[in-house]
Structures are given as structure tokens and as C-alpha cells.
Amino acid sequence: MNDINRVTVVGRLTRDAELKYTNGGMAVCKFAVASNYHKKNGDQWTDEANFFDVVLFGKTGEAVHRYLLKGKQVGVDGELRQERWDQDGQMRSAVKIYANTVQLLGGGKQDGASSGSGDQAGAYKPAPPTVSEGAWPAVDEPANQPAFEDDVPF
């Protein structure tokens, strides 16, 4: 059996994305995402945040970097990779998300304030996905039949 290394994070960008290029001309888009969770601390609930560095390569990173602005909500799907290096004789490491896909989910900050480099709210609104006719098989269910009819013995 193969190992599985997959992560999906939904959160808000902590800074505007940076776009750089390798010596070979490959685009490298880097940004960070904060994902909040609720935590009970004694008798009170508090919000805590986890911060994730994300790396997105290629044409996808080149195309979406201008829309990845501080405060925007995104969904990131990818894999975790640990980077290791030597700094002044001390071994250092960092775990980053190497993204396969990035989905733009929402506008700016929840309070509606503009962020980052100017007011670009609404600059990019992805169209809802469409299904071409014939792409999905037609399903005809009889009118008075239950949706799931299976005699599974467990």
C-alpha cells in the first residue's frame, strides 16, 4: 500500500501572494493562509488560528497570484513537504503545503474593509461550473420508489 500525503485547508490569506521565477523560468507563487478553529479554554470558547505557508508552481500560480490578496478566502488542496536546511550549524526545518489546486472562495475581510494593494473587491468572480449536455448520465427514478433500495445484510 502506498502512503498518502494530502491536505485541504480553507482559510484567509495573511498577506498578498508573491510571484517569483526559477532560473529555468518556472513561476513560483508563495502565500500564507490562516485557518481558524474554536477552542474551549476553561469555561469560555476562544478562536485560535493555524498558519500555513503555501507554494504553488507553474501557470496556475502565475494566473491567480494577482487575486491572492490579504484577507481573501481560499481553499487549498495539496500535499505537505518538509524543507530542511542548515543555518549557522543548526538544522532547521519547515513544513509547507505544496498546492495542486487553489480555489478562490470569497471576497475580502469579513468586515468589508479593503486590503493589501488597493480596493480590488470583486476583481475576480469565478463563474459557477457548468456541465455540458451529455456529460452526466441521465438518471430516471420511478416516482414512488425510495432513493436507495438495496438489500445489504449489515
d(CA 132, CA 112): 36
pTM of the complete model: 0.65
Dihedral sign (CA 13, 16, 17, 18):
negative
Phi, psi at 147, each rounded to 5°: -65, -30
Three-state DSSP at 59 gives helix
Please tell me the predicted confidence (pLDDT) of residue 69: 94
Q: On the CB side of 117, how many CA atoms lie within 13 Å of its CA?
A: 10
Q: Which residues of the chain have pLDDT under 70?
A: 107-154
Q: Where are the domains of the chain?
A: 1-149
Task: Give the span between the Cα atoms of 75 and 80, in whole angstroms.
Answer: 15
The answer to whether the beta carbons of residues 119 and 113 sit under 8 Å apart is no
Contact between 14 and 70 under an 8 Å Cβ cutoff? The reply is: yes
Predicted local confidence at residue 151, as pLDDT: 57
Pick the CATH number of 1-149 from 2.60.40.10, 2.40.50.140, 2.40.30.10, 1.25.60.10: 2.40.50.140
Does residue 145 sit in helix, strand or coil?
Answer: coil
Q: Are 27 and 61 in contact (CB under 8 A)?
A: yes
Nearest to 117 by CA among 67, 79, 78: 67
The per-residue pLDDT for 146 is 52
